[in-house]
Amino acid sequence: MTTASDQLSSLIRQRRSIRDFLPTPIPNEVLLQVLEDANWSPSWSNTQPYRIAIASGPMRDKLASELTAKFDAGMKAIAGGVFGKLRAFITRDGMPDGDVKVDFDYPESLLARRRATGFGLYKLLGIEREDRAARNAQMRRNFEFFGAPTVIFVFVHEGLREYSVLDAGIFLQTFMLSAEAHGLATCAQGALATWASPIRAAFDVPDEYNLICGISVGYASEHKVNSFNPGRADVAEMVIPSRRQTSDTKA
């Protein structure tokens, strides 16, 4: 007999970040059920300090076109060297205008895992480390929502600072697990916060809410990229030992 805990454990482990979707539209009733589940996520004093904007159909296509154009302009500026970057700085063409900074240096203690994930993904796709064009093309897929028919942009209230982000993370996890249970696939994407202007132009976003990420939603294709599984570190690596345990170990 399969228990509720068994089902939950299975959902948690089978969920993946999907990077190639079928164009099949999501039935409205299915997406609504997933959102209803996610709406029951816990939050700081039940403030629910997040809002979402949902794009499907023509709106989704329009945003994909605008975001990929900004990505292309940014890549062109980088390829143009100092003068290309200067031109972009003056014209703002392709320059990030997000509410949060998504391009930053990773802490040294976390860099190894990031690199292992990136290298593993590119190896699966046959992209060489020196093949900048292929790497950029794969990065560009973020702004095409990996072909997903629906994309959801997540905004957090600036008044609750870090706790808005924490609560949005809980919301996203609930959303992704419910989506998995309903036969949908997802990919949470911080890259979609790089440019906020197209999204703000498309939706009536309150000023006090900042774009933190997006999540592509749909049905997974059979593309090999969707088999990628970077794994996880052992639970023991996550647990901080007490000072007494550390002293005992050294003794």
Q: Could you please report the per-residue DSSP string of 115-184?
A: HHHHHHHHHHHT--TT-HHHHHHHHHGGGGGGG-SEEEEEEEEGGGTHHHHHHHHHHHHHHHHHHHHTT-
Tokens of 246: 């550390």
- Cβ atoms of residues 98 and 209 within 8 Å: no
Can you give the pLDDT at residue 247? Answer: 58
What's the mean pLDDT in 33-58?
96
Tell me the pLDDT tens digit for each residue of 49-83: 999 999 999 999 999 999 999 999 988 877 777 65
pLDDT tens across 192-243, in order?
Answer: 999 999 999 999 999 999 999 999 999 999 999 999 888 888 888 889 888 8
The CA distance from 193 to 199, in Å, is: 9
pLDDT over threshold 80, residue 92: no
Task: Concatenate the DSSP letters of all residues of 176-245 into one string.
Answer: HHHHHHTT-EEEEEGGGGS--HHHHHHS---TTEEEEEEEEEEEE-S-GGGG-------HHHHSPPPHHH
pLDDT attached to residue 104: 82
User: Is the pLDDT higher at 216 or at 117?
Assistant: 216
* CA neighbor of 138 nearest in space, from 225, 24, 228: 225
Please count the residues of the chain. 251
**CA–CA gap between residue 167 and residue 76 (Å, rounded):** 37
